[in-house]
């Protein structure tokens, strides 16, 4: 005699149930508070490695404009200071925060200084680089203000070089909103 046992159908996993490298990466605020990016789940993200003493530093103004223009529609701009390129981010967390606010009125989240390349590269940037390699498939970030656009599901959509001005990304952002 053959016995058939009915099994309850498996419930589909929702985005909230699935671990994701972007949302689960440990981050630290400029105030030294630990956290992750899970509060931004379901929102498009523009993740940027930044520096205060770089020729591209004026891009903070353009990033703030994107934040102001698209923030109410869900976009979150995230800044991650890095001192790996020409030692152009030598400041303390307090100095970085004051610089961003005083010079560019930055109101988007800026996190504690991290490495984006090498053995100590932050896991978030390891993931971003693997998902969106640079020119000729290189993973290394070449300079400050490399930008990564991430969709609402946490998929890395595109990588932009330091030379790409924030306003040039607007049409790509609009497609995600």
H helices of 93-146, in order, are: 93-104, 123-131
Into how many domains does the chain fold? 1
Residue 22's SS3 state is: helix
pLDDT tens, residue by residue, 4-63: 334 444 444 444 445 578 998 899 999 999 989 999 999 999 999 999 999 999 999 999
In a domain, 8, yes or no: no
Question: What phi, psi does 126 have (nearest 5°)?
Answer: -60, -45
In a domain, 16, yes or no: no
In a domain, 150, yes or no: yes
CATH classification of the domain holding 172: 3.40.30.10
| Catalytic residue flag (residue 54) | yes
In a domain, 125, yes or no: yes
Active-site choice (2, 54, 82, 100) = 54
In a domain, 161, yes or no: yes
Picking from 18, 49, 41, the residue whose alpha carbon sits closest to that of residue 122 is 49
Query: The dihedral of CA 32, 35, 37, 41: what is its sign?
Result: negative
Query: The dihedral of CA 59, 152, 112, 69: what is its sign?
Result: positive
Structure-token pair, residue 2: 């053959």
Question: Which range marks the domain in which residue 111 is found?
Answer: 21-176
In a domain, 129, yes or no: yes
Q: Is the model more confident about 6 or about 155?
A: 155
Please check whether residue 41 is in contact with residue 76, taking contact to mean a CB–CB distance below 8 angstroms. no
pLDDT tens, residue by residue, 72-115: 999 999 999 999 999 999 999 999 999 999 999 999 999 999 99
In a domain, 3, yes or no: no
Q: What pTM, to 2 d.p., does this model score?
A: 0.87
In a domain, 10, yes or no: no
């Amino acid at each position: 005699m053959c016995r058939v046992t009915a099994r309850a159908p498996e419930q589909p996993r929702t985005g909230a149930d699935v671990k994701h490298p972007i949302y689960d990466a440990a981050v630290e605020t400029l105030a030294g508070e630990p956290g992750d990016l899970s509060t931004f789940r379901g929102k498009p993200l523009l993740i940027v490695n930044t520096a205060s003493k770089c020729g591209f530093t004026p891009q903070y103004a353009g990033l703030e404009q994107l934040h102001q223009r698209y923030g109410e529609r869900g976009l979150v701009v995230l800044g991650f200071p890095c001192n790996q390129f020409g030692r152009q981010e030598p400041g303390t967390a307090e100095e970085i925060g004051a610089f961003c606010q005083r010079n560019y009125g930055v109101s988007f989240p800026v996190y504690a200084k991290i490495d984006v390349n090498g053995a100590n590269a932050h896991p978030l940037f390891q993931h971003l680089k693997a998902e969106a390699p640079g020119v000729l498939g290189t993973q290394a970030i070449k300079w400050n203000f490399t930008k990564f656009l991430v969709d609402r599901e946490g998929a890395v959509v595109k990588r932009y070089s330091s030379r790409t001005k924030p306003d040039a990304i607007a049409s790509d952002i609009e497609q995600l909103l």
